Amino acid sequence: MAKEIRKNGNGGIAILVACLTAIILTATAPGIGLTWDEPYYIATSITYLGWFKFLAKNPLGAFSAEAINQYWSTTNQHPALDRIWSGIIWSFSRHVFDDLTAHRVGNILLAAVMIGLLYLLVAQAYGKAAGLFSAAALMSMPRFFFHSHLAALDVPVAAAVFFVTFLFWRTVDRKEWWWGLVLGLAWGLAEAVKLNATFIPIGLFIWCLLFRRKWYIIYRFLLMGFVAVATFFLVWPWLYHQTWERVMEYVNFNLHSADHGQWYLGKFYLILPWHFTFLMLWAVVPLTVILLAIIGAIRTGKGRQDKGLGWLLVISLLVPLTPFLIGGFPAYDNDRLFIQAYPFLGAIAGIGFGWILAGLRKLTNRTNYPSLFLPVGIIAAAVLLAPQVVTMTSLYPHLLSYYSESVGGLPGATKMGLETTYWCETYVAAIPYINAHAQPGDLIWVEPDSYNVLLYYQLHGQLRKDVKVLNDVPEPASVFGQGTPQPIRGQYPEANWYIFQYRYSQFGKLEYSFPLLAYLKNLAPPVYQISFQGVPLMALYQR
C-alpha cells in the first residue's frame, strides 16, 4: 500500500494539503477571539508541562500524591493528552508566535494532519479530485474552520476519531495479531483526548458485521479494548492516586453536565429533543456540502466497489450523532459536541463530487470535447464551494455565527430561535474601545464563568490593567493563579461597562438574565456594537 501511495503521488499531495491547511489556520488564528474554555486548557497545559520538568529533576517525587495533586488537579473534567501535546508545542512555538497562537499551534497541527489523511483516504478509493474536494469541503465548513484554531478539545477529538478510523481501514485486512495492539494504543490515546472517542468501536464493529465477518476481527477488538483501557490510564497521571474515586468523578461529570443547556427554536432546553441534531447539521453545514453528502451516500449504497469504505464513512458519521438522536443526553453550544462527524461528512461529500465529475467526464467525451472536462470540473468545484467561502470571508472572525442558506443565513436562524453566537469569542472586539475610554478602576461585567477570557487579555497586556473584571460567581478566582489579574466579586448594577454577547442560552439558566436585559435597555444605547446582516452579535454598554 505504501508503494502504491508513492507511485500515484497521493502521499505527496496529502503532505501538501496538510501543510497548506496548517499555514492557513496559523495565519488566521490571531484574528479569532479567545473562547470560554481556552483559558482553562491554556493554564492546565502549562501546569502539566511543569510536572514533566519536575519529573526530569525528581523522577520518584513526581509520582507522589502531593505532586500529582499539585500539577494535575487544575482541571480534571477531561483527560489530559491534548493539553500535554499543546503544552509541549507551546514551549517551542511561543518563541515564534504570540502567546495565544502559540497555545493553538498544537491543535492546528492535528487538524492539518487529519485533513491530509482525509484526502489520502478518499483519493485512494475515489480519485484525487474526490480527495481534494473532501479536504476543501471540510475546511470550508465555517464552524469547523473556526474550531480548528482553538486550544480546546473538540477538533482534537474529531482528529483522534478520524485517526483511529483511518488506521482501522488500512489494517482491517491484515491478519497479524499485533495490529490489535496498535489499534488499541490509538483508541486509548483517542479516549485520553475526550470521552467522545469511547464510541469509536461501535461503528467499526457494526461495519465488520456487514463487511468483515472474520474470527480474527473479534480477537482484534478484544485486544484493542484491553490495550485502550491501559493506555487511557497510563497517560493521565491524575488517575494514579484515588483511582476509583477519580474515575467516578470523571464519569459523573460527563453524564450529569446538563446544567449548560441550549437555546433551540426559541426555548431553553436542558435535554434536547431528538430532532436537534438533524436540524443543527442542516443549519450550520453549508447547503452544497449537505447535498453532495446525500449524493455521496447514494453512491455508497449502489455497490461495494470500494470494499465497503463508503459504508464505513457513513456509519462513522452517524455514530457521534446517535446519542443525541436517542434523547436523554445533554447537549449545548450548538454543534460543538458532535463535531467529530464533520470529517466523515466532508469525505462523503467528496465522494458525491467525484460521482458528479464522472458524469461530466462522460458528457464531455460524448460531445467530443474531452478537453473541456478539466476546466468544467474546476468551475463546478468553485461554484459548489463559493457560497460558504464568500460568507466566511465576510463574517470572519465571528464564524460561530455562521448559518447556511438552508435556513436563510444568520437572520433566518435568529428568526427560527437558534443561537446567535456563543463562547465569548466576540469579547475581544470590545477591548480597544474600553482601553480608549475607561477610567482607572472601572469595573467590567461579563457573563458568569467567562471572566477568565478578559483576565487572559489583561495578563498579556491587551486589556488595561487599571480596570477590573466584575463577576458574581462565588469566590471568583483567575484560573492563571496567584500573582495574575484577579476578578472582583460584585453584582451587575455595580459595573461601569457591560460586554454583552447575544448568547440566548444564558437567558434560560441565569435567573437574573431578563432583569439584566431590562437594566441594559434602560441605559443609553450601546457605545459599541458588532453585527452581521443586521443581527447583533455583541454590544458594549457604559453606565
How confident is residue 339, by pLDDT bands cut at 50, 70 and 90?
Answer: very high
Write the DSSP symbol of residue 525. S
CB 331 within 8 A of CB 337: yes
* Residue 351 burial (10 A CB sphere; 0-12, 13-18, 19+): buried
Q: How far is CA 526 from CA 469, 498, 516, 534, in A?
A: 19, 9, 14, 15
CB 261 within 8 A of CB 508: yes
Residue 409 lies in a domain: no
What is the Cα–Cα distance from 51 to 53, expressed in whole angstroms?
5
Whether residues 219 and 336 fall in one domain: yes
The arithmetic mean of pLDDT across residues 228-244, rounded, is: 95
Whether residues 333 and 480 fall in one domain: no
Whether residues 179 and 40 fall in one domain: yes
Write the DSSP symbol of residue 410. H
Q: Position 465: which residue type?
A: K
CB 519 within 8 A of CB 473: no
Q: Inter-axis angle of helices 342-366 and 373-395, to 10 degrees?
A: 150
Q: What pTM was estimated for this model as a whole?
A: 0.94
Whether residues 59 and 163 fall in one domain: yes
**The three grid cell numbers given for residue 460, joined into one nine-digit string:** 498579556
How confident is residue 7, by pLDDT bands cut at 50, 70 and 90?
Answer: low
Q: Taking phi first (over 0 means left), then psi (-120 to 50 degrees means alpha), and beta for anything else, what does residue 476 get?
A: beta
Residue 417, pLDDT above cutoff 90: yes
| Winning range, highest mean pLDDT, from 356-365, 450-459, 497-506 | 450-459
What is the total count of domains within the chain?
A: 2
Sign (positive/negative) of CA torsion 34, 42, 392, 194?
negative
* Residue 441 burial (10 A CB sphere; 0-12, 13-18, 19+): exposed
What is the Cα–Cα distance from 73 to 69, expressed in whole angstroms?
5
Residue 472 lies in a domain: yes
Write the DSSP symbol of residue 494. G
Give bridge partners of residue 443 from the DSSP assignment.
468
Whether residues 108 and 255 fall in one domain: yes
Q: What is the pLDDT of residue 371?
A: 83
Q: What is the mean pLDDT of the chain?
A: 91
Q: Which residue has the cell 472582583?
A: 488
For residue 465, the enclosing domain spans 427-542
Whether residues 275 and 139 fall in one domain: yes
Residue 490 lies in a domain: yes
**The three grid cell numbers given for residue 127, joined into one nine-digit string:** 480519485
Q: How far is CA 421 from CA 78, 141, 263, 333, 404, in A?
A: 24, 16, 11, 9, 14
- Other CB atoms closer than 10 Å to residue 500's CB: what's the count? 22
Residue 376 lies in a domain: no
Nearest Cα neighbor of 523 from 499, 498, 543 is 543
Residue at a domain's end among 318, 344, 370: 344
Residue 394 lies in a domain: no
Nearest Cα neighbor of 125 from 324, 294, 303, 325 is 303
Whether residues 18 and 130 fall in one domain: yes
Output phi, psi for 293, to 5 deg.
-65, -35
Output phi, psi for 208, to 5 deg.
-65, -35
Whether residues 91 and 225 fall in one domain: yes
- Other CB atoms closer than 10 Å to residue 383's CB: what's the count? 10
Are β-strands 535-542 and 262-264 bridged in parallel, bridged antiparallel, or unpaired?
unpaired
Give bridge partners of residue 499 from the DSSP assignment.
540
The arithmetic mean of pLDDT across residues 78-88, rounded, is: 96
Q: What is the pLDDT of residue 329?
A: 67
Q: What is the pLDDT of residue 268?
A: 85
Q: Inter-axis angle of helices 342-366 and 287-301, to 10 degrees?
A: 80
What is the Cα–Cα distance from 355 to 373, expressed in whole angstroms?
14
Where is average pLDDT lowest: 247-251, 351-355, 383-387? 247-251
Residue 419 lies in a domain: no
What is the Cα–Cα distance from 490 to 502, expressed in whole angstroms?
22
Percent of residues, the chain, with pLDDT higher than 90: 75
Three-class DSSP labels, 323-360? HHHHCCCECCCCCHHHHHHHHHHHHHHHHHHHHHHHHH
CA 145 to chain centre: 9
Residue 402 lies in a domain: no
**Residues contacting 136, CB < 8 A, separation 6+:** 381, 385
**Residues contacting 29, CB < 8 A, separation 6+:** 100, 101, 104, 108, 149
Where is average pLDDT lowest: 44-58, 88-102, 249-263, 469-483? 249-263
How confident is residue 475, by pLDDT bands cut at 50, 70 and 90?
Answer: confident
Are β-strands 443-445 and 497-501 bridged in parallel, bridged antiparallel, or unpaired?
parallel
The 8 Å CB, 24+ separation contacts for 275-278 are 276/324, 276/331, 277/321, 277/324, 277/325, 277/331, 277/338, 278/325
Residue at a domain's end among 344, 361, 391: 344
Whether residues 65 and 172 fall in one domain: yes
Where is average pLDDT lowest: 60-74, 183-197, 297-311, 499-513? 499-513
- Other CB atoms closer than 10 Å to residue 115's CB: what's the count? 28
Residue 388 lies in a domain: no
Whether residues 340 and 441 fall in one domain: no
Q: What is the pLDDT of residue 383?
A: 96
Residue at a domain's end among 344, 360, 382: 344
